[in-house]
Amino acid sequence: MRFSDLIASFLDMMLAERNAAANTRAAYARDLADAAGFLARKKIDLVDANEEDLRGYLRANKKHAARTQARRLSALRQFFRFLCSENHRAEDPTRSIDAPKLGRVLPKYLSEEEVARLLDAVAHYPDADGLRLRVMLELLYAAGLRVTELVSLPTSSIQFDRALVLVKGKGGRERIVPLGEPALKAVQEWLPVRKQMLGKNASPYLFPSPTRINAPITRQRLFQLLKELALAARLDPKRLSPHVVRHAFATHLIEHGADLRSVQSMLGHADIATTQIYTHVAGDRLAQTVVEHHPLAKGLRK
């Protein structure tokens, strides 16, 4: 069986048996292609690689971040387990390879004042594209959506009578997230404008592409628009992305007393350990507040 066919079968398995998201499958395909290209330059076929061959590839990845190294090793592990299960390999060469230590990486997020500046800046955008960006930002911050969840959101997912949005997340898992009045009002303002922009065309997406029929706006375009908005709000564009707004949503909820299980549910995290990182962010911020403002922290004992 050719390597390309094995990769295709592996990715099909990831979809059929594990319901892996399209982005996950695409990332695995890129990582396996990278490993295959590295080994091919050494006249080694990835399918036939042994443990030392793979260790050599992973050593060459030391220049990358630990998370990139860990993701590439994960892709290799999944692939070789698949090969063993399908009797294309007798042994798994990744079984004795340890993943790099990742450590705790705190998510980047915006302060409430910075989010307010973004919303104020986008409110002054004059045209339909500006209204669309305002609605997208409102939903990112009001519901903590991932970028793919936002751009692929169907119009029918917004339920005005119940003040919520139905979100289809990673692995096809669905969740319900309440929406506040500002987000709902923004969507209501957007719907007639959206209809006018579509004209005679039809689209299930809340944010249809202006150039492609029956397709949503692209993730890349949203990233570009947010960078431009950051400049308008006098923020560093490098600090702003859809995921940073998602982090702000979670961090601000916890800072205002939301319980961890509720935040986990709204973010769509399968494991609460993933959500717990936001308690560290909020805790670090509270600790800094004490250092800066509490009299005892300044040595002003009475």
Active-site positions?
A: 146, 170, 243, 246, 269, 278
Residue of 283, 291, 294, 289 lying closest to 255 (CA atoms): 283
Query: What is the C-alpha to C-alpha distance for residues 153 and 208, in angstroms, rounded to an integer?
Result: 10
Query: What is the C-alpha to C-alpha distance for residues 176 and 191, in angstroms, rounded to an integer?
Result: 21
What is the DSSP secondary structure assignment for residue 297, as one 8-state letter?
G
User: How many residues are recorded in the chain?
Assistant: 302
3-class SS at 75? helix
CA separation, residue 218 to residues 148, 209, 256, 288, 296 (Å):
9, 7, 33, 38, 51
Q: Which helix (H) or strand (E) holds 155?
A: none
Determine contact, residues 119/235, Cβ cutoff 8 Å. Answer: no
Query: What is the C-alpha to C-alpha distance for residues 170 and 145, in angstroms, rounded to an integer?
Result: 11
In order, the DSSP letters of 120-153 are HHHHT--SHHHHHHHHHHHHHHHH---HHHHHT-
Radius of gyration for the alpha carbons in the chain, expressed in angstroms and rounded: 23
